[in-house]
A and B are shown apart, each in its own frame.
Chain A
Amino acid sequence: MTTTETTPGTRSTRPQISPPSLLRASTTIVWRNLVHIRRMPEMLLDVTVQSVMFVLLFAYVFGGAITAPGADYKEFLLPGIMVQTMVFSSAIVAMGLTSDLQKGFVDRFKSLPVPRSAVLVGRSISSLIHSSIGVAVMAVTGLLIGWRVRNGVVDGVLAFALLLLFGFALIWLGIWVGSLMRTVEAVQGFMFTVMFPLTFVANTFVPTESMPAWLRTISEWNPVSAITQACRELWGNGPAAGADAAWPLQHPVLVSIGWSLLLTAVFAPLAVSAFRRRSRD
């Protein structure tokens, strides 16, 4: 074989293939997913226009009919809607993963000398970025209609960190569902069927006090309620839970962390094994 040839991409100049680190592989995938968003900005509609519409709908259409004891309804509403956005991020992960599996991108990826977990890590990071854009859009909308972070920077940042942690936990649910289902349409149908009750049977949009006792109990034990309550307290958007509220709402910050860890502990192994099984055949 000739050795004088030095054109890259020809046999004689086989490059050094050093297996990429998980970091390089994951950032490459994140880059690719972000290019997707740039090329199809309508992918962001779910966390931007849709969320703003939700904010405006609840703040001005339903809000007048809902009283949140000890709080301005608009302030009461914002943390709830942000949590809802984070919950929806698991649907975003699931749909993205299923589409990659369906279109053969995961196959292409698996034929390369890359740590296979990079697909999942890259997917998780880009969907957290995706939802964070949504949270940012809502924070700006909130600021415009009177929502404020009132308890200082530390508590303010802590609340955002809790949101991200919860989003991270739910991403595993998304990966699990995404690995089990065959089409994006199926994922969409399934995820929204799960997410609507999860985000509405909670304190996200209305105080739980007005619910029938059994429903109130379910709502207050719903992880979504704990995160929402934690954000409200940390941002100073509402009073602490009443003495008759369920135990999780009495300790919302700790319970939020606990729920996030528990959900991760349950769904991460399920997700990884479902993804592995899906990628064996």
Chain B
Amino acid sequence: MSASSAVEAIDLVKHFGDNRAVDGVSFVVPTGSVLGLLGPNGAGKTTLVRMLTTLSVPTSGTGRVAGFDIREQPNDVRRSMGLTGQAATVDELLTGRENIRLIGGLYGLSRSYVREASEHLLDRFDLTAAADRMAKTYSGGMRRRLDLAVSLLATPPILFLDEPTTGLDPQSRSGLWEVLRELVGEGTTLVLTTQYLEEADHLADEIVVVDKGRVIAAGTPTQLKDRAGQASVVVTLTSAADLDQAAELMRSHSSEVHVERGSRRLTAQAGGLGDMTRIAAVFERSGIELDDLGLARPSLDDVFLHLTGHRADPSSASDQTTEGVAQ
């Protein structure tokens, strides 16, 4: 292996009885980068993270974290990484400060270090005011932040985050994204699982799409979007009366034009920005009034649909009836 990879999965397999939760997954995460493991519920993301963080023993295959083999050197792995679980595992009956002290004791860190570091972490995660309150009085966002603070106590160079923002309100979510970006800025390698395409798009350098225990695609967010198909030019007219004429004009530039009468919208396949400016010029000359004109790239949701035939994001499950339009 090369010294520049922080995490490697090498043909990892985990079976629970007949259930092939993870069925031969490999990937490499370069040091200092962010890997997003993207997939729907039950895709095997959590099981993957559990194996890489030594919580679960692989049925076969192995992995390396900070150069240490997860099967042969589990204690070195544990010293090199932090884990923030799916359900935040803060101790509800302990205060914020005591939670940090608990983990400090279990890490074998010196008491003076833990005292100093906990002040710093509580401050950084905006928990100082609540530091001496029991964690059960915390909001969901505060719990996640405490959980993250606890994971960072020993300043691990590699951090695993299992669905870090599931169940958080949008404000807490973007707050947490902010913190994660800061960590990456400091050089921490992140491996995060998510079922939110937006989150992977936002944070990850590389995305590994997992479905039914297998990797079905991997690449940068842009690469994945390119794979889902071409970009398209979307035009919204001011008046529905111009629709037929506009569609005619666009057909002379694009082989496929889709008309949505209700929303006065025309969608044409396009190769890129050049097509868009050409179409814009055509409308400029025609005198047809436009409300809007723009280039739409496929979202990661389209990518997922394209790759698996079903959507990843549970919140868009109701959109399944519109699949025909999206294609």
Contact = CB atoms under 8 A, between A and B. Distances in A.
Interface of A: 1, 7-11, 13-15, 17-21, 24-25, 27-29, 31-32, 35-36, 39-40, 103-105, 107-114, 118, 279-281
B179 interface: no
Contacts of B91: 32, 105
Nearest to A13: B155
A1 B55 contact: no
Given A10-B186, A15-B109, A24-B108, A40 B87 contact: no
Contacts of B113: 8, 15
| Contact-residue size bin, chain B (C-beta under 8 Å from the other chain) | 35 or more
Interface in B3-46: 16
A197 B19 CA distance: 40
Query: Shortest 7 CB-CB distances between A and B: which pairs?
Result: A20-B108, A28-B105, A9-B117, A8-B117, A104-B89, A113-B78, A108-B89
B186 A9 contact: no
A179 to B, nearest CB: 16
A114 B134 CA distance: 25
B63 to A, nearest CB: 14
Nearest to A11: B186
B96 interface: no
B276 interface: no
Interface string B240-271: 00000000000000000000000000000000
A36 B99 CA distance: 12
A113 B110 contact: no
B155 A113 contact: no
B187 interface: yes
Nearest to B88: A104
Contact of A17 (B105, B107, B124): B107
A110 B107 CA distance: 11
B155 A14 contact: yes
Given A9-B124, A32-B91, A113-B107, A15 B78 contact: no
B215 interface: no
B117 A110 contact: no
B89 A107 contact: yes
B83 A111 contact: yes
Contact of A25 (B16, B105, B116, B118): B105
A104 B107 contact: no
B105 A109 contact: no
B107 A111 contact: no
Contact of B188 (A11, A21, A28, A108): A11
B153 interface: yes
Contacts of B108: 17-21, 24-25, 113-114
A20 B75 contact: no
13 contacts: A1-B187, A8-B120, A9-B124, A10-B186, A20-B107, A35-B93, A39-B93, A39-B94, A40-B93, A105-B89, A110-B54, A111-B82, A118-B106
Nearest to A19: B108
A146 B220 CA distance: 79
Contacts of A281: 16, 56-57
A9 B121 contact: yes
B79 interface: yes
Nearest to A25: B106
B103 A17 contact: no
B98 interface: yes
Nearest to B160: A111
Given A9-B124, A11-B186, 19 more contacts: A1-B187, A8-B120, A9-B152, A11-B157, A19-B79, A27-B105, A28-B105, A29-B106, A32-B98, A35-B94, A35-B98, A108-B103, A109-B106, A111-B53, A111-B81, A112-B78, A112-B106, A113-B78, A280-B57
Contacts of A279: 55
A104 B103 CA distance: 14
B85 interface: yes
A95 B131 CA distance: 28
B120 A28 contact: no
Contacts of A13: 155
Nearest to B155: A14
B106 A11 contact: no
B154 A17 contact: yes
B102 interface: yes
A111 B160 CA distance: 11
Contacts of A19: 75, 79, 108
A32 B135 CA distance: 13
Interface string B68-80: 0000000110110
Given A19-B108, A104-B85, A111-B53, A36 B93 contact: yes
Contacts of A32: 91, 94, 98, 102
Contacts of A9: 116-118, 120-121, 124, 152-153, 155
Interface in B44-61: 53-57
B56 A112 contact: no
A100 to B, nearest CB: 10
Given A7-B120, A13-B155, A40-B93, A111 B78 contact: yes
Contact of B155 (A10, A27, A28, A104): A10
Nearest to B87: A104
Contact of A111 (B16, B55, B117, B134): B55
Nearest to A105: B89
B263 to A, nearest CB: 46
B95 to A, nearest CB: 9
A246 to B, nearest CB: 46
